[in-house]
Amino acid sequence: MSQQQSPEPTRLVSPTKTTDHSTAGEPDPFEHLRGTAGEEQVSLNKAERKFIRRRSWKLLVRTSEGVRLKLLLTALAVILAQACQAATPLIVSLAIDWGLPRVIDGETQGLWIPGGLYVTCAVTAGIMLFLYTRMTAEASQQMLFTLRDEVFRKTQELSLDFHEDYTSGKVISRQTSDLESLRELLDGGVNSLVQGLMFMFFTTVTIWIMDWRSGLVLLAAAVPIAFLGRWYQKNSEVAYRRTRISSARMIVHFVESMTGIRAVQAFRRESARTRQYKKLAKVYRDDMVRSIGLFGVLQPGLMLVGNLSVTAVLLWGGFRVLDGDLGVGALVGVVLATKRVFQPLDMIAMFYNSLQSATAALEKVSGLLEERPKVREAKHPAHLAEARGELEFRDAEFRYNQDGPLVLKKLDLHIPAGQTVAVVGRTGAGKTTLAKLLARFYDVSSGTVTLDGVDLRQLATADHHRHVAMVTQEAFLFSGTIRDNIALGRPTATDEEIVAAAKAVGVHEFITALPEGYDTDVNKRGGRLSAGQRQLVSFARAFLADPAVLILDEATSSLDLPSEALVQEGLERLLGNRTALIIAHRLSTVAIADRVLVVDARHIVEDGSPEELIAAGGYFSKLHSAWSATMGN
Ligand SMILES: Nc1ncnc2c1ncn2[C@@H]1O[C@H](COP(=O)(O)OP(=O)(O)OP(=O)(O)O)[C@@H](O)[C@H]1O
């Protein structure tokens, strides 16, 4: 058994810090709500609510950065439009009281001045309406664009551990239904609020001018309205938070059923999945009905207060008319105005409704955006222009979760540049974990992993990506042509280089036999290609990327036996002089390796050339015999 000695790494660094929210040893009281952690928590205490609210509003304020002037102009346009509209009755009264007598006396200005004012107001209101409709749409769409972009960027940046936990369904729900709630608020809600408030303000002023006692009735009506508003706010906040959670669960189930449609159909799970979906959709429906039901109490409640206020103004005013304290005209005026003053409450309640829904959505989106990738580039990264491909694990330990079990324990492993290493072992032994650490999908929990003596945590991300490539069993192909998919390995590659890469791994003949050759569209998830063909295309992609270190994670598992000889040749050419770590499930793949590692129970239990290990009579020797038997050797 040969265990190679390694040179000293150039620099050892402490593990990347993953949480940044506690200050100098003080525990973070909101740790459980940071990022997406408290996403499923429905009821929050006062401090928690404040924390979440602040995070949401901070995001909204940050998102509005480029459009604040536009939002201000929009508000001004709304005020101007409302003022113009409110002024029209005044102009009519001016026309009657001031203009009409002058017209009768033959003075034309009596007609032109109020007429001109009226037209000016009407035109201004129209222009303002046009401007604010347009500006609101521009501002809200710009804010949504920023949020969409941020959500997408964030999900691309977050490390694999996040995605393994969070699932794509939840990300989709944040990106679609949550942002849709925000759109509803930004598009229509703010306008209705400003319009409604302005209208109420102007009308209240007129009531106070006409009869201050009726103004007192309005003041009294504000008390039940405030209580009703507070009741609605408290209940709807919880109700809408619940709808966001149930909506996300429903979308997660939908996305999983669609992306796993092959497994669903293969195991005849269609009706079971449908039943589960129905259950989740019912929960969402009920949550929505509950939150809309709350609005159903708020709206008539406000109407009731409005009507009672009109009755109070009418009764009190009526008695005062009888006593001779109030003129009939003034009574008619205040009654009409009181009736009108409550009209926008409907609109404001709607705004409040969409505000609550959008706030719940914003809570979730801001949580997602608060997440920080655990695997990050160092502040002052080390650069490695050229790499030889020497790898080393030193005292490396790894666990997926902070309090989870150790998956790799005290691992010391040196792989010299250019060596082809096959990794074998039982299912769940930790082979893929080894590969993921080299590809830096995760960082080691303790110890180091180095490339050419540079700690991977210190290595510039771009250099790491250039020097280390991983081909997985999945061999994912993006929508587009085969050419585009191979070019992903090196986007600047010429057509000749792409063809050369395909020839090198032995996939050129197959591609040219396709109807449109390299321009054939692979469709979603490479629908037109078999799993083996997809793997060959991903080999070509890796060949083009020309990394110093190549990791193949069961990447040959879908290749059929008859074509194995061909593939073997392609594989050997792909490996070339690179350092390669191959997680192998095939004898033929292991045969081309210089060295075999057997991983078991968190350790490397066998390490040597294939011949050495066969002779040693351990796990690999037994595996080899079993493989040979199945191949008829
Ligand atoms: N994302 C994860 N979170 C928590 N534990 C994980 C995660 N991925 C793998 N594990 C655990 O780590 C251990 C090693 O898994 P790994 O995928 O490295 O095994 P493997 O040897 O590649 O297995 P296989 O041959 O089946 O692919 C297993 O016990 C597995 O349950």
Say yes or no: 323 and 420 in one domain. Answer: no
Contact present, 280 and 271 (Cβ < 8 Å): no
Say yes or no: 295 and 241 in one domain. Answer: yes
Say yes or no: 514 and 612 in one domain. Answer: yes
pLDDT at 4: 39
Query: 514 lies in a domain?
Result: yes
Lowest mean pLDDT across 12-21, 179-188, 329-338, 622-631: 12-21
Domain boundary residue, one of 341, 370, 399:
370
Domain boundary residue, one of 316, 338, 370:
370
The answer, yes or no, to whether residue 220 has pLDDT greater than 70, is yes
> pLDDT (tens digit, 9 = 90+) per residue, 251-269?
889 988 888 888 788 778 8
Residue 353 exposed, middle or buried by CB count within 10 Å (0-12, 13-18, 19+): buried
Contact present, 374 and 162 (Cβ < 8 Å): yes
pLDDT band of residue 459 (cuts 50, 70, 90) is very high
pLDDT at 154: 92
Residue with tokens 């009869």: 211
pLDDT at 600: 86
Tokens standing for residue 271: 């009706």
Give the DSSP H/E element, type plus range, for residue 318. helix 270-322
Does the beta carbon of 407 lie inside 6 Å of ligand 1? Answer: yes
Does the beta carbon of 164 lie inside 6 Å of ligand 1? Answer: yes
Residue partners of 349: CB distance under 8 A and separation at least 6: 295, 298, 299, 302
Query: 43 lies in a domain?
Result: no
Residue of 160, 163, 400, 411 to mutate, ligand 1, most atoms within 8 A of C-beta: 400
Spatial CA neighbour of 19 closest among 290, 276, 372: 372
Does the beta carbon of 165 lie inside 6 Å of ligand 1? Answer: no
Distance 425 CA to ligand 1 centre (A): 12
The answer, yes or no, to whether residue 455 has pLDDT greater than 80, is yes
Say yes or no: 533 and 473 in one domain. Answer: yes
Tokens standing for residue 27: 């525990």
Residue partners of 295: CB distance under 8 A and separation at least 6: 232, 236, 349, 353
The answer, yes or no, to whether residue 457 has pLDDT greater than 90, is yes
Which atom belonging to ligand 1 lies closest to the Cα atom of 554? Answer: 27
pLDDT at 8: 34
Query: 347 lies in a domain?
Result: yes
Tokens standing for residue 370: 């608060």
Spatial CA neighbour of 368 closest among 248, 522, 201, 216: 248
Say yes or no: 349 and 429 in one domain. Answer: no
Calculate what percentage of the chain has a pLDDT beyond 70.
Answer: 91
Contact present, 148 and 429 (Cβ < 8 Å): no
Query: 94 lies in a domain?
Result: yes
Does the beta carbon of 425 lie inside 6 Å of ligand 1? Answer: yes
Query: 151 lies in a domain?
Result: yes
Nearest CA to ligand 1 atom 6: 400
Q: Average per-residue pLDDT in the chain?
A: 83
Say yes or no: 313 and 432 in one domain. Answer: no
Give the DSSP H/E element, type plus range, for residue 603. strand 603-608
Residue of 407, 445, 556 to mutate, ligand 1, most atoms within 8 A of C-beta: 407
ipTM: 0.96
**Amino acid at site 206:** T
Distance CA 544, CA 533 (A): 17
Which atom belonging to ligand 1 lies closest to the Cα atom of 430? Answer: 18
Say yes or no: 254 and 286 in one domain. Answer: yes
Whichever domain contains 211, its CATH number is 1.20.1560.10
Residue 145 sits at the vertex; the CA angle it makes with 140 and 149, to the nearest 5 degrees, is 150
Tokens standing for residue 395: 């005292």
Say yes or no: 186 and 94 in one domain. Answer: yes
Q: What is the number of alpha carbons within 13 Å of residue 40 lying toward its C-beta?
A: 5
pLDDT band of residue 236 (cuts 50, 70, 90) is confident
Number of helices (H), then strands (E), belonging to the chain: the values are 22, 10
Does the beta carbon of 427 lie inside 6 Å of ligand 1? Answer: yes
Say yes or no: 410 and 365 in one domain. Answer: no
Distance CA 553, CA 438 (A): 12
pLDDT average, residue stretch 388-394? 93
Lowest mean pLDDT across 2-16, 95-109, 456-470, 611-625: 2-16
> pLDDT (tens digit, 9 = 90+) per residue, 482-498?
898 899 888 888 999 99
Query: 295 lies in a domain?
Result: yes
How many domains, in total, are found in the chain? 2
Give the residue numbers spanning the domain of 587: 391-630
Distance 407 CA to ligand 1 centre (A): 8
The answer, yes or no, to whether residue 132 has pLDDT greater than 90, is no
Q: What is the number of alpha carbons within 13 Å of residue 604 lying toward its C-beta?
A: 26
pLDDT at 43: 76
**Amino acid at site 403:** D
> pLDDT (tens digit, 9 = 90+) per residue, 143-189?
999 999 999 999 888 888 888 888 788 888 888 888 888 888 887 76
The answer, yes or no, to whether residue 371 has pLDDT greater than 50, is yes
pLDDT at 488: 86
> pLDDT (tens digit, 9 = 90+) per residue, 404-419?
888 888 899 999 999 9
**Amino acid at site 117:** L
Spatial CA neighbour of 74 closest among 158, 236, 188, 155: 188
DSSP string across 334-396: HHHHHHHHTHHHHHHHHHHHHHHHHHHHHHHHHHHHH---SS---SS-B--SS----EEEEEE
How far, in Å, are 276, 389, 410, 588 from residue 453 at the CA level? Answer: 52, 10, 18, 32
Distance 624 CA to ligand 1 centre (A): 23
Distance 152 CA to ligand 1 centre (A): 28
Whichever domain contains 580, its CATH number is 3.40.50.300
pLDDT band of residue 451 (cuts 50, 70, 90) is very high
Tokens standing for residue 9: 């790494």
Say yes or no: 519 and 422 in one domain. Answer: yes
> pLDDT (tens digit, 9 = 90+) per residue, 284-315?
999 999 988 888 888 889 889 988 999 998 89
Distance 421 CA to ligand 1 centre (A): 20
pLDDT average, residue stretch 227-249? 87
Residue of 165, 397, 399, 433 to mutate, ligand 1, most atoms within 8 A of C-beta: 433
Does the beta carbon of 433 lie inside 6 Å of ligand 1? Answer: yes
Contact present, 586 and 557 (Cβ < 8 Å): yes
Query: 3 lies in a domain?
Result: no
Say yes or no: 82 and 139 in one domain. Answer: yes
Query: 20 lies in a domain?
Result: no
Nearest CA to ligand 1 atom 4: 400
Contact present, 360 and 238 (Cβ < 8 Å): no
Which atom belonging to ligand 1 lies closest to the Cα atom of 433? Answer: 18
Q: Return the exposure string of 75-100: e unless at least 16 CB atoms fall within 10 Å of the residue's CB, then b.
A: bebbbbbbebbbbeeebeebbeeebe
Distance 166 CA to ligand 1 centre (A): 18
Calculate what percentage of the chain has a pLDDT beyond 90.
Answer: 22
> pLDDT (tens digit, 9 = 90+) per residue, 314-347?
898 888 888 888 777 777 778 887 887 888 877 7
Say yes or no: 342 and 422 in one domain. Answer: no
* Assessment of whether the complete model's pTM goes beyond 0.90: no
Distance 400 CA to ligand 1 centre (A): 9
Distance CA 13, CA 446 (A): 10
